[in-house]
Structure 1
């Protein structure tokens, strides 16, 4: 059984992306502060949405989470199956009680081993496998007792499902790589479809690619994700995915327009909590038109997390943001998101606030709620949209401070101003600091990453030059 450590360090990854949307081929480096720059329609948003989908799915479906879900499912199925016993005799009741005790014992064993790392891996495996085997034997005994009795048909079906779940848990203990890949493949297919709002994953394939080409995400020395037609295949070395699996919350920030339409998007006839409660029981088989990353963020915003080791540093930044925007975003008991003006003490409807206030206020709210902390990832897609250049500079400063506190930033932008603000930050650092903290990818209109051999500062200069070229062309043509 694997042991887990919450050792959040600055993450460095190299990823090759092929045939995804506008992207023909891109080499993307991930660092504490990652910049993806280039002209419109160069594939930047395909990178941010795809990587968000992968990172968020891995965080939600870590081996530890998979194990916890399997145990909970076993407990719930075994407990609930008692209601399917129709006028059971004494022996049937006893058999069910023994089975339930065995499943509870399995859960207790797993919890014990997760808290106590003194046993060797061999001893841990042996203890868990013996506990599973006992539960399987008890399940078989319960099944044989009622196998030929018609009134127990529903109970028999439940026992078969319980036995299959126990076999699945055996696989989790003895062959975690396979189960991790299977679980992540299913989760990723759903996340790709819902984050891109596509009916068929074939829609994500680059139109220039040939029929035999796959959509590929190759994480150097870690593993890969491939999309073939409508199937997602995942292959990761689980011994090298601990950083990705133990990520704190992964967040995607896009246009503040979503937040201004939040109530309508989430269905004005139902509270958001009921929406998520409903989703626990009814799997949606249709696209809503609202990207999953927005719903993920709404759910995170509505949750208050315990303080952590860098809460004081984050709270200082939260206070600075509050001072900058003259107030804070707040979630009212009614579920409404509003801006609390520091000067007037009034609650102002979010629809009446500037985009800069909404963008920065949302980051402040995430800090206040401890949603983002050391080890978190924030994907920011084209934050310059509807944002005044003065607010752009403030936002870059805030994102940089977040990255210095251990919160990973991945930002896609086609703003010359934003590139200049980041360049100004880099110019105050030495080369080693720049190379350790920043990663820059330049995307061409043809969907390729270019100038991969340049260092981060040189790439920013190249991106600025490329983005400025359209203005130069307009000036030369007399259109300016």
Structure 2
């Protein structure tokens, strides 16, 4: 299905209306808002399709709040024990030791539920979980049975009431999606979604002629947030999204591991980076028969095979190395190269190969690639463009932003050759009267080449004028 996003006063963009769902190409010079469209779509699709599991909104969010409250109780219990340990009788000492075990059991239970939700094992509701309520009530009864000072007792009762409120809290799906959208926009745009010095802005998405999403903002604050009920109930939009910004991500993961920031991931860096690393690492499970069986999954198999022939090898995530590794060679004798030593061009193709192996190239997953030509020689830009066109032909929705005439000309040429020009859209991001606009140029695509080749023409003309 073809969709359209319409935005006004978002990022540096004054106005844009972009259709996507097949192959979409957004061209333009630097600082023209090309990346803004991709990051915005990433934020929207991720918040709609993966708000619970990836962004930990809803039940996941509640579980984290409960664990935080329990840790607060545990801290107060430690303080209580250190303060009164000499005055405690044997019965209270025994109760406190028993409470420590119960705390750990309760937190382990919550972590297990959290892991099950994330891995799609269960549909879960804290409100209906009798085991969780039993854990909490038992902790409460045992703590309040201690010989507590009235102030300590009041504080514990206060925290248990807070936990009860968390458990009983109910959100509608659209409330959770709105919360997820706010969370990921903060990560991707650092909260600066609206164009500076502009009070009002909006984002609208259409499926065909039907409006499926309508968001209006005032000074970066959401004033109106509405989703079509079909998006929520029947999932007519994409299930997930992949955003590729740079091939250097294949060795960034090692830096992240070393500085140990995973627990603070949303605040530490844009979420799409950690999301992509997790997706690429899941390629270690690529030996599933369903994936490598040519009869059952021809499309992904062909992509893996074609990329192997281009880079003369294969990129994989090997647990034994705890790293992405390039196996150079197409025969049995291969040379293995660690991520930091893999050429950037090979990494660029390797990411697509890993996504195919990890099952993230799919008609229900939007693939967004920002300026892939940056690390590619013109010869490989053409090959990369051909792979992207073939993906679109297989039904994978692709959005590419680019400022390379080689890449854009190749995308157009192969779209015609592969018979998908009817589902291909070309846009130019440019400045008009100090406003940044993104317009469709399907009927005047040469406008892209005139814009991007202007610096070369100026150099050539300058050389010709010299005596």
Say whether the fold is shared (TM-score over 0.5).
yes
Report what 1:315 is aligned to: 301
Q: Does 1:293 align with 2:272?
A: yes
Report what 2:391 is aligned to: 402
Report what 1:466 is aligned to: 451
- Aligned mates of 1:475, 1:354 — CA distance in 2: 32
Asked if 1 retains the 8 angstrom alpha-carbon contact of 2:313 and 2:326, the reply is yes
Q: Does 1:443 align with 2:429?
A: yes
Q: Which has the higher strand share?
A: 2
Asked if 2 retains the 8 angstrom alpha-carbon contact of 1:15 and 1:28, the reply is yes
Q: Map of 1:6-405 to 2, 5 A cutoff?
A: 11-61=1-51, 66-69=57-60, 72=63, 150=150, 152-153=153-154, 155-169=156-170, 172=171, 175-193=172-190, 201-202=191-192, 204-207=193-196, 210-214=197-201, 216-220=202-206, 221-232=211-222, 235-242=225-232, 247-260=238-251, 262-263=253-254, 265-266=255-256, 269=258, 275-276=261-262, 279=263, 287=268, 291-304=270-283, 311-332=297-318, 333-342=320-329, 344-405=333-394
Structure 1, gaps ≥5 residues long: 1-10, 118-127, 194-200
- Aligned mates of 1:138, 1:334 — CA distance in 2: 41
Shift of 1:399: 1.2
Asked if 1 retains the 8 angstrom alpha-carbon contact of 2:57 and 2:179, the reply is no
Q: Deviations over 1:90-125 (max 9, x none)?
A: xxx9xx9xxx9xx99xx9xxx9xx9999xxxxxxxx
Structure 2, gaps ≥5 residues long: 82-91
Shift of 1:449: 3.6
Asked if 2 retains the 8 angstrom alpha-carbon contact of 1:34 and 1:409, the reply is yes
Q: Secondary structure at the match of 1:445?
A: strand
**TM-score (normalised: structure 2):** 0.72
Change in CA separation of 1:223 and 1:424 when aligned onto 2, cut-off 3 Å: same
Asked if 2 retains the 8 angstrom alpha-carbon contact of 1:34 and 1:438, the reply is yes
State the superposition RMSD in angstroms.
Answer: 4.5
Shift of 1:245: 8.1
- Aligned mates of 2:245, 2:179 — CA distance in 1: 30
